[in-house]
Amino acid sequence: MNSPQDPLDAMLDTLHASTPAQPESVQQEVWRRIAHGDQTASDACVPWWHRLEAAFSRPAFAATFVAACLLLGLFLAEVRLTRAQAERTAALEQSYLRLVDPLFRESDTHRVQPAVHRP
Amino acid sequence: MKRTSLILALGLGAGVAGHVVWFNTQQAAPVGSLDTQLAWMQTDLGLQPDQFARIKALHERLEPRLLQLSAEVERLRAEFASFERARVEAGEVDFLEVARAAAESRSLGRECDASTTQLVSEATREMTPEQRKRYLEILAPALEDAGHSRAF
């Protein structure tokens, strides 16, 4: 039925020649991928403290953690200092007002505004 | 686990130590003394060293009188409070004593106003217009009542 020189045969031969040989069978490849998936899933189930221990076992991560804690402490100290400075400025104004004007009462202090710092 | 605990403790210790040391070294002196108040004024108003020296000398000269007046004011306020307590609790009013205290308070009020006016006018004389404006803004809560009869 087919002619001996069917062009489709030639194309199939070319495709077969250009396709590299598969190292394993499809079945082996499927099982390999399933095993890899199981391995990934078991990594995700590791408790957080084990992951923490693994992270802290790296010296660079441990040093970064300590440095970050130090910086956080300094940042919180600055926040407290800024607030303390504003309160101190208001207290200084009230204290000076009490010195300048002996009749100045504590109850008048609600009118005192903290100093506006000019650039 | 031991290593993890050690690193966590080290991080916590570093954070707390950094916080405490930085906060304590940067914290300013208490506000009570005249020197602290004058240092704050110098910074806030941008006083030059010669201005600051003159204003400091002025404050140091007038401070004893102002503190004495302040003590007198406190004494009279306590006296008025005791009159009020006696009126509320016992229903008694010693009108002669109240009249004497009221007269004393008026006299003291005038003295306070005069001392305040003297300090403020002499201090502002040493300042530039901008410094004077800022200084009077700071004093506004006290000055807006000065010159009027003020309650103890």
> For the segment A13-36, what is each residue's pLDDT rounded down to a tens digit?
888 888 776 666 777 878 888 888
Say if residue A117's pLDDT is above 80: no
Instruction: Tell me the C-alpha to C-alpha distance, in Å, between residue A95 and each of A90, A105, B124.
Output: 9, 11, 19
In a domain, B148, yes or no: no
Say if residue A47's pLDDT is above 90: no
Whether residue B47 sits in one domain with residue B21: no
Whether residue B35 sits in one domain with residue B25: no
Q: What was the pLDDT predicted at A65?
A: 94
Q: What is the mean pLDDT of residues A61-89?
A: 93
Full 3-state SS string of chain A: CCCCCCHHHHHHHHHHHHCCCCCCCHHHHHHHHHHHHHHHHHHHCCCHHHHHHHHHCCHHHHHHHHHHHHHHHHHHHHHHHHHHHHHHHHHHHHHHHHHHCCCCCHHHHHHCCCCCCCC
> Following CA atoms B104, B109, B111, B113 in sequence, which dihedral angle do they give, to the nearest 10 degrees?
-170
Q: Which range marks the domain in which residue B125 is found?
A: 31-143
Tell me if A70 and B14 make a contact (CB, 8 A cut-off): yes
In a domain, B41, yes or no: yes
In a domain, B19, yes or no: yes
Q: What was the pLDDT predicted at A111?
A: 39
B121 shares contact with chain A (CB less than 8 Å): no
Say if residue A3's pLDDT is above 80: no
Residue from B84, B46, B138 nearest A109 by CA: B138
CB A74 within 8 A of CB B22: yes
Say if residue A105's pLDDT is above 60: yes
Cα A98 to its chain centre, rounded Å, is: 52
Q: What was the pLDDT predicted at A113?
A: 41
Q: What was the pLDDT predicted at B146?
A: 58
For the whole model, what pTM was predicted?
Answer: 0.61
pLDDT band at A48 (very low <50, low <70, confident <90, very high): confident
> How distant is the Cα of A58 from the closest Cα of chain B, in angstroms?
11
Q: What was the pLDDT predicted at B21?
A: 94
CB A65 within 8 A of CB B7: yes
Whether residue B77 sits in one domain with residue B26: no
Tell me if B141 and A53 make a contact (CB, 8 A cut-off): no
Instruction: Identify all chain A residues contacting B66, using CB atoms and an 8 Å cutoff.
Output: 99-100, 102
Structural domain count of chain B: 2
The DSSP symbol for B27 reads: P
